[in-house]
């Protein structure tokens, strides 16, 4: 298993270097630095290339081009769930002073490095013009503000702690419904294994860090989980040790790692696996028609619940877009940000992406099935910030956590994992 992930990392690094040499990673012709129509090209950099997310981006693109006929949208999306490859390429572009006109980033601590490096313009002018502080939740605006300035426009709210499962596979294993505690989860994983199915599907290495955050939350509880990201947090406590031991047990039931989150989710939808813990972007992939998803039927082919032990807590993240300093087409980028911030854009994007809108005034009738549950829970649940998706930790801290998890996959050494996580917190918590 470890050899396969090591190979994947090597391929990723080689791919990033190739993309950097080509000057971009998106679809279609590369942006031109020449005159004419090329000056009106708007380079939008993201990692939305998979089913569901690419459909949502396409829907926003159509609105952008309708509203802005003098601009040409250039899709500079770089494949790879969670954006690890995209972020590496983005860093090389910023260092070379060739930023895209706008780029996707997770709201929260992930953007701190760009802000401190002076890579981003603040967007207070846009928030004032569009009165965005009136339509975005105050807690969200606070999270993406630094010393009174806002540096990104949130497009959506995602939930990380979702347990996706196949009802038929559970029934075959004698499991009545989704496990509510981690103890029940471990017992159910064993029942599925005894029936010869994959108990838990996983994707590339980042999906294991994603799994870890849900296990930490489910084991520690909301307050203790949130406290881990404050200065002086005790990552060496017996409570964290217990959580990591549970994580080790859960991982012992994982199937062979798939290339990314989509094929891992598909194993559940196809009845090959029982469970998958993944963000709610998986809903769009499960639900959307076959030209952009799997065309599966909810409650029959797939179902959902909060990840074990986390009911009543929304482990959240938000995709957002920024305004880099030195962008070739600043006006075009601002035009894109207006679509991303607008009610029409968010209502076109989110039902396809499998997320709920960042705006409070979105058309709730568009959000049905899983998304209706998410809207209800977002308004009432306690909140915890995602590790993997940039809310709770900055990029150097996440890199250290990712390295620790990668080593753990091979060693299964809980003590070494805990020490590495504690060291990462001491080095990066602010």
How many CA atoms are closer than 13 Å to the CA of 280, on its beta-carbon side? 35
Is pLDDT of 37 > 50? no
Q: Which two tokens stand for residue 141?
A: 């605006």
Average pLDDT over residues 34-50: 77
pLDDT band at 85 (very low <50, low <70, confident <90, very high): confident
CB atoms within 10 A of CB 422: 17
Is pLDDT of 25 > 50? no
pLDDT band at 14 (very low <50, low <70, confident <90, very high): very low
What angle, 0 to 180 degrees and rounded to 10, lies between the N-to-C axes of helices 395-411 and 205-220? Answer: 90
pLDDT band at 8 (very low <50, low <70, confident <90, very high): very low
Q: Which domains, from first to last, does the chain contain? A: 18-156+319-372 (3.40.190.10), 162-315+390-428 (3.40.190.10)
Across 187-345, the runs of DSSP E, i.e. the strands, are 198-200, 273-277, 303-306, 313-317, 319-321
Q: d(Cα 403, Cα 163) in Å, to the nearest integer?
A: 25
Mean pLDDT of the chain: 89
The answer to whether the beta carbons of residues 108 and 392 sit under 8 Å apart is yes
The answer to whether the beta carbons of residues 367 and 358 sit under 8 Å apart is no
Q: Which has more confidence, 38 or 166?
A: 166
pLDDT band at 81 (very low <50, low <70, confident <90, very high): low
Average pLDDT over residues 164-186: 98
Is pLDDT of 143 > 80? no
Least confident of 105-109, 163-167, 212-216: 105-109
Is pLDDT of 38 > 70? no
Average pLDDT over residues 402-408: 97
- How far is CA 265 from each of CA 279, 333, 394, 408, rounded to the nearest angstrom? 10, 34, 27, 23
Q: Which two tokens stand for residue 425?
A: 């917190």
Is pLDDT of 387 > 70? yes
The answer to whether the beta carbons of residues 149 and 124 sit under 8 Å apart is yes
pLDDT digits (tens, 9 = 90+) for 278-333: 999 899 889 888 877 899 999 999 999 999 999 999 999 999 999 999 999 999 99
């Amino acid at each position: 298993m470890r050899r396969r992930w090591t190979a994947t990392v090597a391929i990723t690094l080689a791919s990033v270097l190739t993309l950097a040499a080509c000057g971009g990673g998106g679809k279609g012709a590369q942006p031109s630095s020449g005159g004419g129509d090329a000056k009106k090209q708007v380079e939008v950099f993201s990692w939305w290339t998979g089913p569901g997310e690419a459909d949502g981006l396409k829907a926003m693109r159509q609105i952008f081009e309708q509203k802005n006929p003098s601009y040409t949208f250039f899709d500079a999306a770089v494949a790879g769930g969670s954006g690890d490859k995209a972020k590496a390429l983005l860093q090389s572009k910023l260092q070379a002073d060739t930023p895209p006109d706008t780029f996707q980033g997770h709201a929260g601590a992930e953007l701190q490095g760009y802000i401190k490096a002076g890579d981003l313009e603040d967007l207070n002018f846009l928030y004032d013009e569009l009165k965005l502080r009136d339509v975005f939740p105050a807690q969200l605006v606070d999270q993406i503000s630094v010393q009174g300035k806002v540096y990104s426009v949130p497009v959506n709210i995602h939930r990380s702690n979702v347990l996706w499962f196949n009802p038929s596979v559970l029934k075959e294993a004698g499991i009545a419904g989704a496990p509510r505690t981690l103890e029940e989860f471990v017992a159910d994983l064993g029942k599925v294994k005894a029936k010869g199915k994959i108990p838990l599907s996983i994707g590339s290495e980042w999906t294991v860090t994603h799994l870890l955050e849900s296990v930490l939350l489910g084991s520690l509880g909301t307050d203790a989980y949130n406290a881990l990201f404050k200065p002086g947090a005790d990552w060496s406590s017996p409570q964290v040790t217990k959580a990591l031991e549970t994580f080790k047990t859960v991982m012992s039931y994982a199937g062979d790692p798939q290339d990314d989150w989509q094929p891992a989710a598909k194993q559940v939808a196809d009845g090959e696996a029982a469970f998958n813990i993944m963000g709610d972007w998986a809903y769009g992939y499960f639900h959307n028609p076959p030209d952009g998803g799997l065309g599966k039927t909810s409650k029959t082919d797939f179902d959902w619940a909060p990840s074990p032990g986390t009911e009543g807590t929304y482990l959240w993240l938000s995709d957002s877009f920024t305004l880099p300093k030195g962008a070739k087409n600043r006006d075009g980028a601002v035009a894109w940000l207006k679509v991303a911030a607008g009610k029409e854009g968010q209502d076109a994007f989110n039902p396809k992406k499998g997320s709920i809108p960042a705006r409070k005034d979105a058309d709730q009738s568009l959000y049905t099935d899983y998304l209706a549950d998410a809207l209800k829970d977002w308004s009432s649940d306690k909140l915890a910030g995602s590790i993997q998706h940039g809310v709770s930790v900055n990029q150097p801290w996440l890199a250290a956590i990712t390295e620790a998890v990668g080593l753990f996959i091979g060693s299964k050494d809980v003590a070494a994992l805990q020490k590495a996580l504690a060291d990462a917190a001491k080095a990066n918590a602010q």
